[in-house]
Amino acid sequence: MNIRSAASSGRDEGRPSRQINIVLRNHDTPAVSGTSAINESSASRNSAQIGLFQEIGSELDALVGLDNIKELVFEIYALLQVAQMRTDAGLASGAQAYHMVFKGNPGTGKTTVARIVAKLFQRMGVLSKGHLIEVERADLVGEYIGHTAQKTRDLVKKALGGILFIDEAYSLARGGDKDFGKEAIDTLVKAMEDHRSQFVLILAGYSSEIEYFLMSNPGLPSRFPIQVEFPDYTIDQLVQIAELMAKERDYILMPQAILKLKQHVMLEKDESPHAFSNARYVRNAIEKAIRSQAVRLLNQYEHNSPGKQELMTLRTEDFKL
């Protein structure tokens, strides 16, 4: 689905049917009586929100792959739009949390998508600030009894009005019942209840380990109605990401350099004993090639400066993989 074009049309014609299984967090606003009054009061807001999704859609379209994530974000947007229409018509809009679990290997876009979701929620009135607080185990777990609960509560307080994003969340459950990580989990569960409509909690990590983490506390699975899988990128998608990363820095890759990078990424992805880091891996490869190019150019042009095209070009010999 091309989200950008779907959002810009402002109509339902040609839009595929979708089952939306997320329920709006309600912001009580008075109903407007009368069909014409509803239409008049909603027109300007709907126009602004369609413009918002054009902006969000542009950010999503710029991301390589992630079709299921783009579909989910559109569902949330559609739900919020329709829920506002229901409120304007005097119909009930239920209240439920938007806490999420992002499952997948490193470098698959989880943090980037979390930032986009935060912006959408803020602009649609679900969150008052829409900021993202990104933390890991060390930020939550203290050194003595009671310290962890206080650190966790302080971070939740900072996240109010926005999103608390916990990367590698499964690490909180690794130490068992006697580990301070369990205290952090218990504190988070309580905060999700105490501040139900004031922040969104997103847990991120490897798929299998996140599943184990969710089972560490009986209250966790039911508190995350949105669970999304971030698949690994294909080889062609990774090459496309590498070219985009180079372009953002005003570099271009020679065809043979692209082929060399593609072959290397294919080998690394198939044979690495560790979880492949996807976009992070190709970003590191591009940055390493840029450093190699700098050394090559200094050695090649000792007494003059290379031309603009040469400054921009990453060659096969620059990729020392």
Residue-wise pLDDT tens digits, 233-276:
999 999 999 999 999 999 999 999 999 999 999 998 888 767 78
Determine the distance from the C-alpha atom of residue 297 to the mean position of all C-alpha atoms in its chain, rounded to a whole number: 37
State residue 176's pLDDT score: 62
Residues 94 and 155 occupy one common structural domain: yes
Secondary structure percentages of the chain, helix, strand, coil, to 5: 55, 10, 35
For residue 316, the 8-state DSSP code is: G
Residue type for position 187: T
Give 88's strand partners.
none
State residue 120's pLDDT score: 86
Indicate the residue among 228, 252, 279 that finishes a domain: 228
When pLDDT is averaged across residues 290-314 and rounded to a whole number, the result is 94
> Of 169, 105, 93, 162, nearest to 128 (Cα)?
162
In a domain, 16, yes or no: no
3-state secondary structure 223-266: HCCEEEEECCCCHHHHHHHHHHHHHHCCCEECHHHHHHHHHHHH
Residues 67 and 188 occupy one common structural domain: yes
Tokens representing 182? 């369990």
pLDDT at 186 over 80: yes
pLDDT at 2 over 60: no
Helices (H), the chain: 3-9, 35-61, 67-88, 110-123, 137-140, 147-159, 180-194, 207-214, 235-248, 255-271, 279-300, 308-312
When pLDDT is averaged across residues 98-124 and rounded to a whole number, the result is 89
pLDDT top residue among 219 and 107: 107
State residue 122's pLDDT score: 86
When pLDDT is averaged across residues 201-206 and rounded to a whole number, the result is 92
Residue type for position 281: Y
pLDDT at 214 over 80: yes
When pLDDT is averaged across residues 108-118 and rounded to a whole number, the result is 89
Residues 140 and 206 occupy one common structural domain: yes
Residues 72 and 189 occupy one common structural domain: yes
pLDDT at 12 over 70: no
pLDDT at 34 over 80: no
Domain that holds residue 217: 45-228
In a domain, 214, yes or no: yes
Indicate the residue among 189, 211, 228 that finishes a domain: 228
Residues 268 and 290 occupy one common structural domain: yes
Query: CATH number for the domain including 112?
Result: 3.40.50.300
Please state, in angstroms and rounded to a whole number, the distance separating the CA atoms of residues 103 and 80.
Answer: 24
Residues 129 and 275 occupy one common structural domain: no
Residues 184 and 279 occupy one common structural domain: no
Indicate the residue among 207, 228, 249 that finishes a domain: 228
Query: CATH number for the domain including 259?
Result: 1.10.8.60
State residue 24's pLDDT score: 36
In a domain, 39, yes or no: no
Q: Please write the tens of the pLDDT for every residue from 63-98.
A: 898 888 888 888 888 888 888 888 888 888 766 678
Domain count, the chain: 2
Please state, in angstroms and rounded to a whole number, the distance separating the CA atoms of residues 217 and 213.
Answer: 8
Residues 123 and 155 occupy one common structural domain: yes
Average pLDDT, the chain: 82
In a domain, 3, yes or no: no
Please state, in angstroms and rounded to a whole number, the distance separating the CA atoms of residues 8 and 3.
Answer: 8
pLDDT at 4 over 60: no
Residues 159 and 259 occupy one common structural domain: no
In a domain, 239, yes or no: yes
In a domain, 155, yes or no: yes
Please state, in angstroms and rounded to a whole number, the distance separating the CA atoms of residues 185 and 199.
Answer: 16
- Listed in sequence order, the residues at least 6 apart from 245 whose beta carbon sits closer than 8 Å to its beta carbon are 282, 283, 286
Residues 224 and 246 occupy one common structural domain: no
* E-assigned strand segments in 72-162: 100-104, 132-135
Give 203's strand partners.
101, 166
